[in-house]
Amino acid sequence: MKKQLSRRTALKNLTGSAAFFSAAMVLPSAAKAELIKEEWTDLKLKGNVNHSVCKWCYPKVSLDDLCKAAKDMGLSSIELQGPEEWPTIKKYGLTCAMPWGAGKGIENGWNNPALHDELLASFEDVIPKAAAAGLDKIITFSGNRKGLSDEQGLENCAKGLKRLMKTAEKYKVTVTMELLNSKVNHKDYQADHTKWGVELAKMIGSDRFKLLYDIYHMQIMEGDVIATIKQYHPYISHYHTGGVPGRAEIDETQELYYPAIVKAILDTGYKGHIAQEFVPKRPDALDSLRQSVKICDI
């Protein structure tokens, strides 16, 4: 009679995330939890993905501590941070793959012509600072509709952003508009579909304007995540993750299969960062981050 394999040995004999999850699903819940934790704590990254994380998801973790943890996990970026935080991030040998620090927030954006002068001044102040810090992107937002049609919103955004492209092109910083859902989290937000964002990019006509494709948000609004990435990847400069529903961990508790999504992203030739932007539900938030990095490390 052959000696029975331990759970750890059985796990090591599996290859690929699909096999791992298939095996884990047939075990009792306690054993499954043990298997999953063994897998994500053994974090030896393959080097195919540039991993990043959004700081706002970890309010109880200081920036210094998150930088230390990220460095230890093999991440190379802490993002959605402004000029005041960039030196701390750089101190740990990390970058800020998607900075912020300009604009008037999510609800008040380029679809309001009355804000164009103020927005232009704000971005023209921050973009040179980003370039001087070695950063090549900056986040922006469309703003809420507030009664605007999608057609008028496009026209207004294009008019304002075209004025900014001279500065963006001069400093080689890509102004990146985030696509957000208007169904659950950001009611009335205008840039809530990929096709709308792509049409805006075409109207602006500059390689220094792209889209931030947030997988969580776009799954809620339109689905077809992999097909959309394949079709529209030339217009996308950055990606965010998040579990659907609830923006929790991106593990087997939610409806998206991230290994396949990340493979589709890499298959387009994408060389930028993929950022974890889920809100951890477990007591140890960094354990959740470690697991999600492992899931996306194909």
Total domain count, the chain: 2
Same structural domain for residues 291 and 232?
Answer: yes
Same structural domain for residues 18 and 73?
Answer: no
Same structural domain for residues 37 and 104?
Answer: no
Burial class (CB in 10 A: 0-12, 13-18, 19+), 27: middle
> What is the model's pLDDT at position 41?
55
Same structural domain for residues 258 and 288?
Answer: yes
- The CATH number linked to 153 is 3.20.20.150
Residues 252-276 as b/e (b if ≥16 CB within 10 A, e otherwise) read eebebbbbebbebbeeeebebbbbb
Same structural domain for residues 11 and 115?
Answer: no
In a structure prediction context, what are the per-residue pLDDT tens digits for the chain, which is 298 residues long? 333 333 333 334 333 444 444 444 444 544 444 444 555 455 689 999 999 999 999 999 999 999 999 999 999 999 999 999 999 999 999 999 999 999 999 999 999 999 999 999 999 999 999 999 999 999 999 999 999 999 999 999 999 999 999 999 999 999 999 999 999 999 999 999 999 999 999 999 999 999 999 999 999 999 999 999 999 999 999 999 999 999 999 999 999 999 999 999 999 999 999 999 999 999 999 999 999 999 999 9
> What is the model's pLDDT at position 39?
54
Same structural domain for residues 127 and 248?
Answer: yes
Look up residue 52 and give its two tokens. Answer: 């990043």
Match 């701390």 to its residue by tokens. Answer: 88
DSSP H or E stretch at residue 175: strand 174-178
Containing structural domain, residue 36: 1-42
Task: Using alpha carbons, select from 61, 113, 118, 137 the residue that is nearest to residue 290.
Answer: 61
> What is the model's pLDDT at position 25?
45
Indicate the pTM of the whole model: 0.87
